[in-house]
């Protein structure tokens, strides 16, 4: 397969098959997609459609049973464990429906954690963590613990943590799923702001408001991409 340099992500005939006892469950069935640098893509589908499985493979959290996945032109299956760990920490930012924040740590320390794993020195950690918190308008809450923050504020901290290493790809799995509609709209505005800075964003969502923001919406059902809608056309 020839890989276009403008493509951040390229998959070729991805299959993911789980063995549950004597039963085979086909979570992905021959998925072939490309996603360009700086693109905003929504991935929609019913529960059990395969969208989270595809997200996990794109995020290098899981491997396909068959097929190829290229990230920035590199065939992911040929990368070492250390290379994959580096990609997960530095190249990809993850945002989840449940915020996965350390309950006893401040907002600042939660955002700082990926930099610690990366081996950044104290000065760099402080500068980048504060910049990320400022980006999500949470600088004035940097010393608060998750229990002292609202759901929307916790999600903002989680987004700051995902952005702190300046990843080329942001993956979000139902980022507004636990939020009320007003707070959800604030998070949507934040995603627009992040995208305008040049990040590639892929969002798994049931939220049609998020899909409206995306440049492309991919609909997945029974492990297959059944429809791709390009915004404005």
Predicted local confidence at residue 107, as pLDDT? 97
Distance CA 29, CA 117 (A): 35
How many C-alpha atoms does 50 have within 13 Å on its Cβ side? 23
* Residue-wise burial string across 152-173, b where 16 or more C-beta atoms lie within 10 A, e elsewhere: bbbbbbbbbbbbbbebbbbbbb
Does the residue 80 lie in any domain? yes
Task: Show the domain range for 164.
Answer: 7-230
Predicted local confidence at residue 4, as pLDDT? 58
Predicted local confidence at residue 233, as pLDDT? 46
Does the residue 151 lie in any domain? yes
Select from 51, 88, 58 the least CA-distant residue to 217. 51
Predicted local confidence at residue 232, as pLDDT? 61
How many C-alpha atoms does 208 have within 13 Å on its Cβ side? 0
For 168-214, write each residue's pLDDT tens digit.
Answer: 899 999 888 888 888 888 888 888 888 998 889 999 988 888 888 89
What percent of the chain is modeled with pLDDT above 90?
Answer: 70
Q: In CATH, what number is assigned to the domain containing residue 107?
A: 3.40.50.300
Q: Give the distance, in angstroms, between the CA of residue 84 and the centroid of all CA atoms in the same chain.
A: 15
DSSP letter for 37, please: T
Count of domains forming the chain: 1
Rounded to the nearest 10 degrees, what angle do helices 151-163 and 181-196 cross at?
20
Predicted local confidence at residue 3, as pLDDT? 52
Predicted local confidence at residue 176, as pLDDT? 84
Predicted local confidence at residue 231, as pLDDT? 82
Does the residue 2 lie in any domain? no
Predicted local confidence at residue 121, as pLDDT? 95
Does the residue 1 lie in any domain? no
Does the residue 217 lie in any domain? yes
Q: 3-class DSSP state for residue 183? A: helix
Does the residue 193 lie in any domain? yes
**Residue spans of the chain under pLDDT 70:** 1-5, 232-233
C-beta separation of 43 from 54 below 8 A: yes
Separation in Å, CA 50 to CA 34, 63, 149, 217:
17, 14, 33, 15
Select from 199, 146, 230 the least CA-distant residue to 37. 199
End-to-end CA distance of the chain: 27
For the question of whether the overall pTM of this predicted structure is more than 0.85, the answer is: yes
Question: Which residues share a beta bridge with 213?
Answer: none
């Amino acid at each position: 397969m020839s890989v276009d340099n403008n493509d951040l992500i390229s998959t070729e005939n991805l299959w993911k098959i789980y063995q549950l006892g004597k039963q085979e469950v086909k979570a992905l069935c021959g998925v072939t997609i490309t996603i360009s640098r700086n693109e905003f893509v929504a991935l929609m589908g019913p529960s059990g459609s395969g969208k989270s499985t595809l997200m996990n493979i794109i995020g290098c959290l899981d491997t396909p049973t068959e097929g190829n996945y290229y990230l920035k032109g590199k065939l992911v299956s040929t990368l070492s464990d250390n290379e994959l760990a580096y990609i997960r920490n530095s190249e990809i930012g993850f945002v989840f429906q449940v915020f996965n924040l350390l309950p006893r740590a401040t907002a600042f320390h939660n955002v700082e954690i990926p930099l610690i794993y990366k081996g950044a020195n104290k000065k760099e950690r402080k500068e980048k963590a504060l910049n990320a918190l400022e980006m999500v308008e949470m600088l004035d809450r940097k010393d608060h613990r998750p229990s002292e923050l609202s759901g929307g504020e916790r999600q903002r901290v989680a987004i700051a943590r995902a952005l702190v290493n300046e990843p080329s790809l942001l993956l979000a799995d139902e980022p507004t799923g636990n939020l009320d509609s007003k707070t959800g709209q604030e998070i949507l505005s934040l995603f627009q702001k992040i995208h305008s800075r040049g990040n590639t964003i892929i969002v798994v969502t049931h939220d049609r408001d998020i899909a409206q923001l995306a440049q492309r919406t991919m609909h997945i059902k029974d492990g297959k991409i059944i429809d791709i809608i390009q915004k404005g056309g």
